Amino acid sequence: MTEVRIGLVGVGWMGQAHAKAFKASPMYFGDDAVPVLEIVADATPELAEAGAKAVGCERWTADWREVVADPRVEVVDITTPNVTHAEIAIAAAQAGKHVYCEKPLAMNVAEARDMVAAVEAAGVLSLVGFNFTKNPIQGLARKMIDNGDLGDILLVRGWSDEDFGTDPNLPFTWRMDKAVAGTGALGDMASHALSLTQMLVGDITEVCGRMEIMIKERPLPLAVASGTGHLVEIGTEMRTVTTDDTVQFLCTFANGAPGVIEASRLATGRKQLLAYEIQGTKGALYFTQERQNEIQVYRDTDPAGERGYKTVYTGPEHPNYEPFNPMAAMQIGYNDLKTIEVHDLAVAVATGKPAEPDFGFGLKIMETIDAVALSAAERRWVRTDEV
């Protein structure tokens, strides 16, 4: 059994999800490469201790630099708010640690470039937590596109629609604060749609977008709110929202295909419509996270009169499904995607072979995000190499 020892910075909801995945990994993938939690950090001693207890980790600290400096730690895992990613990641890389960072990679392209430079200079591995790319059904999508089953790509659509924000009483959290989050729906949600479409179709070269803050202020919560904060009680004090509720943008992929990407936290009626549609000259795909165990597949090569979108359920033929279930359509869940992700991380560390999506990919996503933000601000088309 090869253990990979992890120092986790941030033990809120997402950090705890990582910790669960570390424990689940050997249950499903065996002990060739087992992620093990060595120490956790959070902003205060109280948060750190409570988080450590929640995830069953004996060691904790309120100083993330202790994690970075810890000689037993091989991987620094960062789940703190976006504004802290770069500093921690760069310090970790400079300390010779592999770095595993939640998405979006950074506050902006400049930070992301520094992060990429740091891991490259240190020769350490990196991984960005775009866990939805780990869905076994995306393996089918990727194989079909790489095989040319879709032909030349004609159009790409991506959506990330949730309606948790439609309620005006949803409390203000760090995600609504530009200083801490960078952007709102764009970085938090569109980044997921970008991770799927850019993984499948490639880089984006130019964008033209718009962003709107439609609910201008929100009540402050009475306690620190984790995640989207929708379960926390609110008070009467209001605070101005400075990140986008919704974003839509046109774009062009490197292969010439036009695209449209949208995200909204006010998408009434949609719960997890993290979706894409990819149309090619020979076929097409449609996927939505609301039905993450299936994909819609269209092949223009089917006989005339019998062409149509086909519902294919995840099954043992798709990568990383069979460890969870022996038969198709038995369903994997959100947490299983994280388990696949951390297992990929552990295998990368154990073998020294790069994991994906790495910081280089995370930077590509940040370039799109920054270009969209600039485009929205200046109301013009922006090339991703401008930012």
Give, as ranges, the residues between 117 and 156 that touch its own copies (CB under 8 A): 140, 154-155
Q: CB-based contacts of 316: which residues, under 8 Å, 6+ apart?
A: 322, 325, 326, 327, 328
- Answer yes or no: are the C-beta atoms of 40 and 51 closer than 8 Å: yes
| DSSP annotation of 188 | I
CB of 107 to its own copies, least distance (A): 24
Closest C-alpha among 300, 349, 366 to residue 34:
349
CA angle at residue 135 from 257 to 318, to 5 degrees? 95
Q: State whether residue 125 is helix, strand or coil.
A: coil
Q: Residue 34, exposed/middle/buried by CB under 10 A (0-12, 13-18, 19+)?
A: buried
| DSSP annotation of 133 | G
d(CA 115, CA 86): 6
CB of 205 to its own copies, least distance (A): 13
The interface mask with its own copies, positions 192-211, x = CB under 8 A, is: ----------------xxx-
The interface mask with its own copies, positions 328-367, x = CB under 8 A, is: xxxxxxxxx-------------------------------
Q: Single out the residue of 178, 230, 239, 383 in contact with its own copies (rule: CB under 8 A).
A: 230
Q: Single out the residue of 222, 231, 238, 254 in contact with its own copies (rule: CB under 8 A).
A: 231
CB of 357 to its own copies, least distance (A): 20
Q: Single out the residue of 18, 103, 318, 364 in contact with its own copies (rule: CB under 8 A).
A: 318
119 vs 225, beta carbon nearer its own copies:
225
* Cα maximum dimension of the chain: 66
Which residues from 280-299 bind its own copies, rule CB under 8 A?
Answer: 280-284, 286, 289-294, 297-298
d(CA 236, CA 215): 16
CB of 177 to its own copies, least distance (A): 20
Q: Residue 226, exposed/middle/buried by CB under 10 A (0-12, 13-18, 19+)?
A: middle
Neighbours of 317 (CB within 10 A): 13
- Answer yes or no: are the C-beta atoms of 41 and 48 closer than 8 Å: yes
88 vs 372, beta carbon nearer its own copies:
372
CB of 231 to its own copies, least distance (A): 7
CB of 384 to its own copies, least distance (A): 16
Q: State whether residue 211 is helix, strand or coil.
A: strand
237 vs 317, beta carbon nearer its own copies:
317
How many residues lie near its own copies (CB under 8 A)? 88
261 vs 348, beta carbon nearer its own copies:
261
Q: Which two tokens stand for residue 45?
A: 């001693």
Which residues from 4-63 bind its own copies, rule CB under 8 A?
Answer: 13, 19-20, 23-24, 26-28, 56
Q: Single out the residue of 227, 242, 383, 386 in contact with its own copies (rule: CB under 8 A).
A: 227
Q: Does 382 bind its own copies (CB under 8 A)?
A: no
- For tokens 């109301």, the residue is 379
Q: Single out the residue of 302, 354, 377, 385 in contact with its own copies (rule: CB under 8 A).
A: 302
Residue 215: which region, alpha, beta or left (left: phi > 0; alpha: psi -120 to 50)? beta
Which residues from 251-280 bind its own copies, rule CB under 8 A?
Answer: 258, 260, 262, 264, 266-272, 279-280
CB of 1 to its own copies, least distance (A): 10
Of 70-78, 222-230, 351-359, 363-371: span binding its own copies (CB under 8 A): 222-230
d(CA 1, CA 30): 9
